[in-house]
């Protein structure tokens, strides 16, 4: 494999799902090959991960009640309920449920 591989969970975001739907439409219409769609999705994983790592500097703090947690395949998942988030600009947001997915910056075996 060439270079590092990236986690694929950004594909489940609104932007990622929309991209996948658009690529599926192009495949069904025979405008692109499935291999190209997979390359586009792999590039999406890389670019999204790299930009979040280097360009996003905003911070937030939060308080809530831990509902569930899990550790599987080097990925932690936490579900927090009744959450109050405070952004670094002082704004406060209350949400019913907040999911955190945390993983190593490199996949296992790299």
Query: In the chain, what are the domain boundaries?
Result: 9-55, 60-103
pLDDT digits (tens, 9 = 90+) for 67-98: 999 999 888 999 999 999 999 999 999 999 99
Query: So what's the pLDDT on residue 71?
Result: 96
Q: Does domain 9-55 have CATH number 1.10.287.190?
A: yes
The rounded distance, in Å, linking the Cα atoms of 100 and 76 is: 8
SS3 (DSSP) at 108: coil
In terms of Cα–Cα distance, which of 73, 71, 97, 70 is closest to 83?
Answer: 97
Of the options 3.40.50.800, 2.30.40.10, 3.40.50.1220, 2.30.18.10, the CATH number for the domain spanning 60-103: 2.30.18.10
- pTM for the model stands at 0.68
pLDDT band at 106; cut points 50, 70, 90 = low
pLDDT digits (tens, 9 = 90+) for 8-40: 888 989 999 999 999 999 999 999 999 999 999
pLDDT band at 53; cut points 50, 70, 90 = confident
Residue partners of 90: CB distance under 8 A and separation at least 6: none
The whole-angstrom distance between residue 17's C-alpha and the CA centroid of its chain comes to 11
The rounded distance, in Å, linking the Cα atoms of 34 and 24 is: 8
Query: So what's the pLDDT on residue 26?
Result: 98
pLDDT band at 1; cut points 50, 70, 90 = very low
């Amino acid at each position: 494999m060439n270079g590092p591989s990236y986690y694929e969970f950004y594909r489940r975001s609104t932007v990622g799902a929309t991209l996948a739907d658009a690529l599926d439409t192009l495949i069904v219409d025979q405008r692109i090959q499935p291999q190209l769609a997979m390359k586009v999705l792999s590039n999406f994983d890389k670019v999204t991960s790299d930009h979040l790592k280097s360009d996003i500097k905003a911070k937030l703090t939060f308080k809530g009640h831990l509902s569930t947690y899990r550790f599987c395949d080097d990925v932690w998942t936490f579900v927090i309920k009744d959450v109050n988030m405070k952004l670094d600009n002082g704004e406060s947001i209350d949400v019913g449920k907040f999911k955190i997915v945390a993983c190593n910056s490199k996949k296992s075996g790299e």
